[in-house]
Amino acid sequence: MKKTLLTLLALAMLLHTSCITEDVATPTRAGNFMTLWKIIDEHYCFFDYKQQAYGLDWDEVRQRYEPAISEGMTNVQLFEVLSDMTAELRDGHVNLTAAHNVARYGEWFDNYPMNFSDSLERKYLGRASEYRAASGLRYRILSDNVGYLRVPSFDVEFGDGNLQEMVRYLGGCNALIVDVRNNGGGMLSSAEKLTTIFVNQTTTVGYIQHKTGPGHNDFSAPRKIEVTPFDGLRWQKPVFVLTNRRTYSAANSFVMYMSQLPAVTIVGDRTGGGAGMPFSSELPNGWGIRFSACPMLNAKGEHTEFGIEPHVHVDISSHDYSRSIDTIIETARNMAHDN
C-alpha cells in the first residue's frame, strides 16, 4: 500500500511539474502594475546604458510608483500611473496602449525646435506635377542642379526598380540631399535598402544585440549589420542627409548607417534616437505595451538611443521661416556648391 501511495504521489508530482506555465498576475490593479513592471524588467534593453546616462534604477521606480496603486482607482487613473512609470525610461519606443489613450514619451522632440515645416517642404518639392513619387520616395532636381530626395517614412518597402529609376533620374545632379526630417521610422530593411545605393562594397554600418535572458545584463555579443552594394546604378557624388529631432527609430538607423560613409554629411539638428528595436507584449487587462528590446549600436559600437549629432548643426532660423526659406536645405545646397 505504501508503495502504491508513493507511486501515485510521484506520478502526481511529475504531472504537476510537467506543466509549463507562466506566472501571471490576475487582472487587478496591482496585478497589471506588477505585470507591466516585470515585462519591462525582463525584456527592456537599455537599463545599464540609462543607469549610466541619468541614473535609471528600475527597482527604485517600482518602489516609488507601487504605493500609488489601489484597487479602487479607475482605469484612467491606473493608466496615468503606469504611463508615468514607463516615462521614467525616457524612450519614445515605449508605449502603453489602452482603448482611451496611448502613452508616449515625447521629451525627445517636444523640448526642441521643429526644424521642419510642411509649407517649406511643399515649396521645395513643388506642386504634385513637379516632383516624382515612387514607393513613398519623393524627389526632384532643384534649380541649382542639386537632387532633393524626401523620405517621409520607412514604412514602405523600396523596390529595386524604384531605386534604379531614382538614381538614373538624379544621376546628372552635382549632389544629393536626402531629407529624413520628421521621418519617424518604419522598417529597418527599408533603411538598409536605401543605404545600398550609397556603398560600393559590403560595409559594416552598425551592430545589433538581443537579450539572452531576463537579467538586465543578459545580452548576446554585438553582431555586425552589413550593407551590400545595390545591384545597379549607385550614387557616387556628395550626399547631405538632413535631420531633426523627429528623425527617429529606423530613420535614426539610416542616419547611423550613412554617417560613417565618406561622401556623406549629416546636416540639421540631432536625431531623436530610438535605437532599440521594439517588441510588444500585453497586460492581463488587455492593454498593450511596446518597449525597446534589441539595442542597435553604431559602427564604433556606441549607443545612439539618445540620437546622433549631425556633422553640421543648423536650425531653421525664425528669420528664414518668415521668408519661407528652409535654412537646413539651404545650408546643404551651399555645401554642395562648395564641394
Partner 1 sequence: MVKKVATPSTSLLRMLQALCLLAAMCMAPAPASATLPDTAGVRTRTLLFGAGSQNVLETYLSPLEYTGVSTSQMQMTERRMPQRLANWLTNWYLLITMGFDGSILHSPAKNVDAFDGNVASSVAFVRGWRPAPQWRLAIGPMGEACGGATFNTRNGNNPVQARLSATLGLTALGEFDFVWLRRKWTARLQADAPVIGLMFSPNFGQSYYELLGLGHTDRNLRLTTPFNAPSLRLMATIQVPLTRKLNIVAGYRADIRQSHVNHLKSHHWMHQFVVGISRTIKTLSR
Name the residues that contact partner 1, by CB under 8 A: 1, 4-5, 8, 18-22, 24, 27, 35, 38-39, 43, 45, 188-189, 208, 210-214, 218, 220, 223, 225-226, 277-282, 284-286, 288, 290, 293-294
Q: Smaller CB distance to partner 1: residue 32 or 327? A: 32
Q: Of 210 and 313, which has the nearer Cβ to partner 1?
A: 210
Any idea what DSSP says for residue 220? P
The bridge status of strand 239-243 relative to strand 264-268 is parallel
Could you write out the three-class secondary structure of 4-34? Answer: HHHHHHHHHHHHHHHCCCCCCCCCCHHHHHH
CA distance 219 to 210: 6
Cβ of residue 215: shortest distance to partner 1, in angstroms? Answer: 10
CA distance 338 to 117: 26
Compare residues 20 and 128 and give the one whose CB is closer to partner 1: 20
Q: How far is the CB of 315 from partner 1 (least distance, A)?
A: 32
Report in angstroms how near the CB of residue 40 gets to partner 1 at its nearest: 12
Q: How many CB atoms lie within 10 A of CB 311?
A: 14
Residue 4 beta carbon to partner 1: minimum distance, rounded to whole angstroms: 5
Closer Cβ to partner 1, 34 or 239, answer by number: 34
Distance from C-alpha of 293 to C-alpha of 280, rounded to nearest angstrom: 9
DSSP string, 124-178: HH-SGGGSEEETTEEEEE-TTSEEEEE---B-SPPPHHHHHHHHHHHTTSSEEEE
Q: Measured from the CB atom, is 42 or 315 closer to partner 1? A: 42
> Residue 193 is placed in which grid cell?
535598402
Taking the complex as a whole, how short is the minimal distance between the CB of residue 287 and partner 1, in angstroms?
A: 8
Residue 266 DSSP SS3: strand
Are 253 and 206 contacting, i.e. CB atoms less than 8 angstroms apart? yes
Closest to 262 in 3D by CA, of 339, 328, 185, 324 = 339
Report in angstroms how near the CB of residue 157 gets to partner 1 at its nearest.
12
- In the complex, what is the shortest distance from the CB of residue 290 to partner 1, in angstroms, rounded to a whole number? 7
Q: Which is nearer to partner 1, 190 or 243 (CB)?
A: 190
